[in-house]
Structure 1
Amino acid sequence: MEDIGQYQLGDVVFCREDLFSDGGLPGYEEGALVAAAGTRGVVVQFGHVEAMPSEEIYLVRFEGEDQNLGLPIGCLPEELTQDETEAASLRAAH
């Protein structure tokens, strides 16, 4: 796997917080819940914020209720974790 920073392509990750559409995501209205805290996903691409090249951003496809992967969502490293125990507690809090 390609080493791209904190996470690698293909890594399983979980979102640390509820992620909502800012209105720019195809298929989601502004304010729609894209992934609830604790949702499992996979890193599919890596890049940087254009205005801040030092800021990493990961494209993650999160599982939907049907267990299928959704569209790629841009996430900052602090919005993700690989800690399954943390993810389980986040899901239980919902």
Structure 2
Amino acid sequence: MPSGSSASEISYVGEDDSDFFRNLHGRTINNMNSIYLLPADEDETKRFGLHQRMMQFVFEGKNYVGPVRETLQFGQHRRILDLGTGSGLW
């Protein structure tokens, strides 16, 4: 990562998920963020995957729309903001 950049990442591997997730109406919910209310379970991961495939179909296999390549060719400060890829599937 370039100097001056920062990123935050939470990763976890373990058996006791009680601090990170809670059960609500039979679904696993992220316990770390009270704003993000969508489930964080296998069914939700499958839904994200289906949504990704549908969007790729709609956008004819492209991961973005708009003049991204042209925009990134000009200027010193080129940055891309990922607004949530869900499972991270591209």
- TM-score bracket relative to the smaller structure: under 0.3
Give the TM-score normalised by structure 2: 0.25
Q: Would you tell me which structure has more strand in proportion to its own residues?
A: 1
Higher relative contact order (CA 8 A, sep 6+): 1
Give the TM-score normalised by structure 1: 0.25
| Greater gyration radius | 2
